[in-house]
Amino acid sequence: METRAEHESLEVFLKASLTDEQRKNVLFVSFTQWDFALAALADTATSLHQMGSDVTLGFWTNKTPMHDTGWSVNDKVAKIFASPARDQLVRDALIDFGIPKSSLAQPPIKGWQPAQPVPITRAMNRSEIKALTYFGSPMGRAMLQVRTLTETPVTDAYYWPERLLRLAYRSYAYAYDQTTALIKERGVTAVAVYNGRFLHDRAASAAAQALGIPVLYYDTGGIDTDFDLTDSVTHDWSDLQRRMLKLYEEWPAAQRDEVGGSWFQERLNHTASDNAFFTDAQEIGSTIDRTGADCLVVYFSSSGDEIAELELDWDQFIGTQPEALKILADECRKRPGYQLVVRSHPHKRRKPKQDVIEWLAAVDEAAPDIHLDPHSPIDSYALMRQADIVVTYGSTTGVEAAFAGKRVIVLGPSAYDQLGCATLAGTPAELSTALDDRNAGAWAGAVSYGLMMRARGFRFEFVKLSPDGALALGGQTFGDSRPVVRHLSNIIARLQRWYLRK
């Protein structure tokens, strides 16, 4: 049986999210060449066009001073070899489908210079960058999403190169200023961007918000759906959890537990493709010896770099992840028979060296009874079934443990702490109380998470997905450029990275 999508249709969602006036002229400004993002853009833009709305299309991937995270092909190289980049194919497909050619929009400001100077005269660390703004918008947070450098730790001891920061600032300002000008020039009534977190998307959405224009965000969908579209920012986890509970409530009662539970079962059986990297070195069913433990508390670590970029009220949490772990270890030591196991996330095998060093130092300071390092073959899912209490700083393992019927305590930001399946402990006192209770939370809350992971968002209504994974609109396939184009474009990207490191 095919899993239905969260939403009935794009038309119903768009009419609920935008007023008739707001749907008059929707701007899609794109800075990515990722096929799944462009397919979401194409389906949404086509749907609006079919509903009678005007759309404005700004395919600006190769216009910005800095390459976007989703950039892969240089348009000039593509033109030389007569092998269009993917965003060019999507642009042409939308025009062929019936959207007027006049909808295409180039950046309107000729001879552009930043409208607001932001002096960057030296290398800066993460906290200093995070504080940078452009017309009050969170430019610094967007700059931290730049993936030009590898091995970039989250520590403030690392200083980002001045040349990189200056170019990132100019690129953010370019997207912000050009979007602002286009909104005013074309009478745009709403803006749609991909994800909303990355450098240029965040700038475009900030420009719209400054003008009082609503923003839609398109992103990846669930396992059984094609894409998501929301009027809330991508990491508004309160809104996402509201959607989870609503979806579970509205889903046929005879099916929801089986469908939602299947997401957990695939991960438990190590068959989930999106989780393979985390479990590929683990031996299914392997466990630890819990001899002597009356209450086994297992802490699953979370990704420090992902946590660092979240825009949250950090006062609701105990502290940083290392601080929270130390408090947890101290609380466990106060309780006879409690044994603490720390499972360091397997992704640490691929994280910046300095981040790994600092995390391992934090574990040493906490001094748990057992530490399973990122290379340990112990099965995380067998381990959580051994546990009496599972504690995380927001790791997905928390909701997986809740599905397994375990008591779950969350010490940091998560996408499941409002589902009733886990207890958020934001102070040492709350943690102490939570550790004295071994009762599991609401199992249905955990299942609602799995249900959303399968059914989130929409199915394509206009874009077609072939059995081999190729995407197309109106017979135009969104294929990649020829290998020689991709190769030469990659050389260009590598030269830029080399220059920015100097």
What mean pLDDT value characterizes the chain? 92
What pLDDT is stored for residue 310 in this prediction?
A: 57
CA distance 223 to 454: 5
Query: Is the domain defined by 10-221+459-501 classed in CATH 3.30.300?
Result: no
Where do runs of H (alpha helix) occur along 251-393? 253-268, 276-279, 304-308, 321-333, 353-366, 380-386
How is 356-408 classified by DSSP, letter by letter? HHHHHHHHHHH--SEEE-TT--S-HHHHHHH-SEEEESS-THHHHHHHTT-EE
Report the candidate in 428, 435, 429, 434 with the shortest Cα–Cα distance to residue 326.
Answer: 428
Give 203-240 pLDDT, tens digit per residue: 999 999 999 999 999 999 999 999 999 998 777 889 99
What crossing angle do the helices spanning 86-97 and 35-50 adopt, rounded to 10°? Answer: 20
Phi and psi at 168, nearest 5°, equal -65, -40
Contact between residue 457 and residue 466 where contact means Cβ atoms under 8 Å apart: no
Compute CA distances 471 → 78, 423, 477, whole Å.
20, 42, 6
Relative to beta strand 190-194, strand 215-220 is parallel
Do β-strands 25-30 and 190-194 pair in parallel, antiparallel, or remain unpaired? parallel
Q: Taking 60 as the threshold, does the pLDDT of residue 1 lie above it?
A: no
Question: How do residues 404-421 score in pLDDT, each as one tens digit?
Answer: 999 999 998 889 999 999
Please determine, for residue 305, whether its predicted confidence score (pLDDT) is greater than 60.
Answer: no
List pLDDT tens digits, range 443-500: 999 999 999 999 999 999 999 988 888 899 998 899 899 999 999 999 999 898 888 8
Per-residue confidence (pLDDT) for residue 400, from 0 to 100: 96
Domain ranges across the chain: 10-221+459-501, 242-454
What DSSP assignment string belongs to 58-102? EE-TTTSSS--TT----HHHHHHTT---HHHHHHHHHHHHT--GG
Name, in order, each residue with C-beta under 8 angstroms of 262's C-beta and a sequence gap of 6 or more: 450, 454
Does this chain's domain 10-221+459-501 share its CATH topology with 242-454?
Answer: yes
The Cα 55–Cα 14 span in angstroms is: 13
pLDDT interval class at 363 (50, 70, 90): very high
Could you tell me which CATH number the domain at 242-454 has?
Answer: 3.40.50
